[in-house]
Amino acid sequence: MTTERPSRIGVLAIQGDYAAHAAAFARLGVATEPVKTVSELAQVDSLVLPGGESTAMLRLLRRDGLDAALREFVHARPVLATCAGCILLAREVCHPHQESFAALDISIERNAYGRQNESAIVPVETTLPGGPMEAVFIRAPRILKTGPSVKTLATRDGFPVLVREGKILAATFHPELSDDQRVHELFLEMIRES
Ligand code: GLN
């Protein structure tokens, strides 16, 4: 007889708005665990990379010796990445160029909306059931190119803002900051599938 243990969802909690992701899952009745160390990462089956400041995150990941384990994790397990998290996963980062884990076949430009448009709440077109989605953009990056196996699930002004490639779901906005729970629900579905 096999006893299935419940899937454990981690939220990378070294920088940025990780608490908002934990709260978004809690609203759906799902518990998450903060991940700050290699051993905590080894305990979880899927991971959320929150928004924040990707340069600072990279620095802290290296300082804490978490970067190699995280690189391996994001290439193998379900990952939900938002904003800075999406930048960390990209194949290519520009403006300015930055190291990344290259787990998601996109090329992304940081802080792409300029000073005037630093933050905005915009309804975006989505193929997810339920019509346009309210999306919160904060010093958001812009996805400039997607590879052939990347599916675009939402767009702003014709640019992808929510994409999926295999076990990775990534947004350039902050679904954890709005009442629309479709992105977190989709990620839970992806975890069940995998
Ligand atoms: N501007 C940030 C960066 O370049 C991302 C902003 C965010 O996560 N809200 O990493």
The pLDDT, as a whole number, for residue 116 is 65
Q: What is the mean pLDDT of residues 49-75?
A: 97
Tens-digit pLDDT profile for residues 139-194: 999 999 999 999 999 999 999 999 999 999 999 999 999 999 999 999 999 999 99
- pLDDT band at residue 3, thresholds of 50, 70 and 90? low
Q: Give this prediction's pTM.
A: 0.96
Atom of ligand 1 nearest to the CA of 51: 8
Whether 51 is in the pocket of ligand 1, judged by its Cβ within 6 Å, is: yes
Whether 21 is in the pocket of ligand 1, judged by its Cβ within 6 Å, is: no
The pLDDT, as a whole number, for residue 13 is 98
| Residue located nearest, by CA, to atom 1 of ligand 1 | 139
The pLDDT, as a whole number, for residue 6 is 80
176 flagged as catalytic:
yes
Q: What is the mean pLDDT of residues 54-76?
A: 97
1 occurs within a structural domain: no
Of the residues 21, 83, 109, 184, only one is catalytic, namely: 83
68 occurs within a structural domain: yes
| Residue of 15, 49, 54 with the most ligand 1 atoms within 8 Å of its CB, for mutation | 54
Tens-digit pLDDT profile for residues 30-56: 999 999 999 999 999 999 999 999 999
Of the residues 109, 165, 174, 184, only one is catalytic, namely: 174
| Residue located nearest, by CA, to atom 5 of ligand 1 | 84
165 occurs within a structural domain: yes
Residue 27 above 80 pLDDT? yes
83 flagged as catalytic:
yes
4 occurs within a structural domain: no
Residue 65 above 60 pLDDT? yes
The pLDDT, as a whole number, for residue 2 is 54
- CATH assignment of the domain containing 70: 3.40.50.880
Tens-digit pLDDT profile for residues 77-134: 999 999 999 999 999 999 999 999 999 999 999 999 877 668 999 999 999 999 999 9
Of the residues 109, 165, 176, 184, only one is catalytic, namely: 176
- Which residues form the domain of 183? 9-193
User: What's the total number of domains in the chain?
Assistant: 1
Whether 84 is in the pocket of ligand 1, judged by its Cβ within 6 Å, is: yes
Residue 5 above 80 pLDDT? no
Secondary structure string (H, E, C) spanning the chain: CCCCCCCCEEEECCCCCHHHHHHHHHHCCCCCEEECCHHHHHHCCEEEECCCCHHHHHHHHHHCCCHHHHHHHHCCCCEEEECHHHHHHEEEEECCCCCCCCCEEEEEECCCCCCCCCEEEEEEEECCCCCCEEEEEECCCEEEEECCCCEEEEEECCEEEEEEECCEEEECCCHHHCCCCHHHHHHHHHHHHC
3 occurs within a structural domain: no
2 occurs within a structural domain: no
